[in-house]
Amino acid sequence: MESLVPIERIERIILLMRGEKVILDTDLAVLYGVETKALVRAVKRNIDRFPADFMFQLNNQEVTRLRCQIGTSNGRGGRRYMPYAFTEQGVAMLSSILHSKRAILVNVEIMRAFVRLRQMLASHADLARKLAALEKKYDSQFKIVFDTIREMMTPPEPKRRRIGFITEKAD
């Protein structure tokens, strides 16, 4: 069965904020095929279902950092309130208040994405533990190998293109 939304697309919109993996209300609204204000309105009508560990509203500093990180607009126009961030449990709770067929199918895919991320993190931690055990066992003779493997496990920093015009130097 082909999924409604590719799991890779969902994984790209999962952010780490306040130590939690979250999805913003705007991204969820796009996935569910509804307007953001309709999603927020449904949540506010059922606010008892969304305690602080299920959903929280971003503060000014978080929104500013997010704008810098993903290059969104400067805030003129558009939203009149800070975005909401939904944890995995909050997304699961959304399925109880959004009753469309699309919302149900998308929720299943989002849950699969969260599970897949958890599995990847667990396997990464397991690999790091095994590497540390091997390093203790084989000490210095394989130090270069272990250092290289650790370096390969670290995600590379994205290359940034220079912005602006490039001029030739005058001699």
The per-residue pLDDT for range 35-82, each reduced to its tens digit, is 999 999 999 999 999 999 999 999 988 888 887 766 555 555 557 788
What angle (nearest 5°) sits at the alpha carbon of residue 87, between those of residues 54 and 121? 140
- Determine the Cα–Cα distance for residues 108 and 139; give it in Å rounded to an integer: 46
- Determine the Cα–Cα distance for residues 142 and 56; give it in Å rounded to an integer: 47
Q: Which CATH number fits domain 7-120: 3.10.260, 3.40.50, 3.90.930, 2.40.10?
A: 3.10.260
What is the arithmetic mean of pLDDT over 86-106? 83
More confident residue, 67 or 161: 67
Number of C-beta neighbours around residue 58 at 10 A: 20
- The model's pTM is 0.61
Of the listed ranges 8-12, 13-17, 65-69, 85-89, the least confidently predicted one is: 65-69
